Amino acid sequence: MTREPDYIFSELAKSWLSKYIRQWKKIWILVNKKWYSGWIFCRKCGFVPKCDKCSVNISYHKINTWKIWLCNICKSQYDFPQKCPHCWSTEIKEFGIWTQQVSELIENEFKTKTQIIESESANSKKKIKEILSQKDIQIYIWTSLLNTPIQWLNLDLIIFLNADLWLNIPNYSAEYNNFNFLYDTFKSHNCNNFIVQSFNPEHYSIRNACKLDKKNFSQKDNEFRKNNNYPPFADVCVLLYKNEIEEKLFNKIDKIHKELLYLKEKYKMNELEIYSTPPIIYKIFGKYRYNIILKWKNLRNFMDIVYTKLNLTQNNFKVDRNSENIV
Ligand SMILES: [Zn+2]
Ligand SMILES: [Zn+2]
């Protein structure tokens, strides 16, 4: 996708779309709205407006003809800014891929109807059958994969608009999740052709999924986990601390971090890794958040000590002792 003139559909996808639309084939386009929806962006200074209570981008939603801007987490609504609040430029625009935009683009360019299917409304075989029974629709836009794959449905083409979805999340299982997301879709759907759009086509997670090579992927993924001390070769424990006052958050994290370093020294845990880092979403519902991550071959006994000595049972702590997630 880095060499494509258009950032939504590649030239290849466009040519298959026009060919298959003419042949009246069934096409399924996968857009994941959870991680990949629209936002506002200043062309001049790069400013992206965020929710006041949560540090996430304000995102775009369309209900019939109404356009609304809201926070996906706390649902606060915002007005679309006329000017950038930073540099006062009027070059502040919408950006991103969202299902409505994909739908409009296809309807304008290929003169055919599309149907957007939200995974929440297509939660049973009966409902999916109802949705798919409309005779005049051949392009379906799905917002995410369904829990139960629809193997009884014959599709002619599945297009992944952004196959790098999970790779962009800074987590040690990002490669694994991305591989499985693609691999499972290939394996569990009755479809003849797949188009995989990626910004990292040489990445081992994308390559091996497209080759259906689970063995080679696991080998590479295990090497990475082993070299960097990630599960199953080590334990990862995440202490999440939340507070409404940013200064209190920093003080507490600083204090806990120092106490952990003291315990590390006292119990001679020389190779134990301890670091503090903000999670991917720094603020949610008006509360600031910070993580302390501990990583070592065997954390169980040490964490028992940490629990009693540092009194982690208080309200603002969340402790995940076998964390799959470090963001
Ligand atoms: Zn600006
Ligand atoms: Zn919010």
Each residue's pLDDT tens digit, 16-71:
999 999 999 999 998 865 544 567 888 888 888 888 888 888 887 766 667 778 88
- Mean pLDDT on 4-21: 92
Q: For all residues of the chain together, what is the average pLDDT? A: 86
Centroid of chain to Cα 275: 24
- Could you give the CA distance from residue 252 to residue 311 in angstroms, rounded to a whole number? 12
- Could you give the CA distance from residue 276 to residue 293 in angstroms, rounded to a whole number? 6
104 alpha carbon to ligand 1 midpoint, in Å?
Answer: 28
Return the pLDDT at 18.
Answer: 95
Return the pLDDT at 172.
Answer: 85
pTM of the model: 0.76
Exposed, middle or buried: residue 15 (CB in 10 Å: 0-12, 13-18, 19+)? exposed
Q: What is the dihedral of CA 168, 174, 176, 182, to 10 degrees?
A: -30
Return the pLDDT at 256.
Answer: 93
- Mean pLDDT on 174-195: 90
70 alpha carbon to ligand 1 midpoint, in Å?
Answer: 20
- Mean pLDDT on 271-275: 92
User: Highest mean pLDDT: which of 56-70, 122-136, 155-169?
Assistant: 155-169
- Could you give the CA distance from residue 149 to residue 36 in angstroms, rounded to a whole number? 22
- Mean pLDDT on 249-268: 94
| Ligand with minimal distance to 286 CA | 2
| Residue 146 pLDDT exceeds 70 | no
Neighbours of ion ligand 2 (CB under 5 A): 51, 53-54, 71, 73-74, 76
77 alpha carbon to ligand 2 midpoint, in Å?
Answer: 9
| Ligand with minimal distance to 86 CA | 1
141 alpha carbon to ligand 2 midpoint, in Å?
Answer: 27
Each residue's pLDDT tens digit, 208-221:
999 999 999 999 99
- Could you give the CA distance from residue 170 to residue 200 in angstroms, rounded to a whole number? 15
Return the pLDDT at 101.
Answer: 79
Return the pLDDT at 102.
Answer: 87
Each residue's pLDDT tens digit, 73-94:
788 899 888 899 889 999 888 7
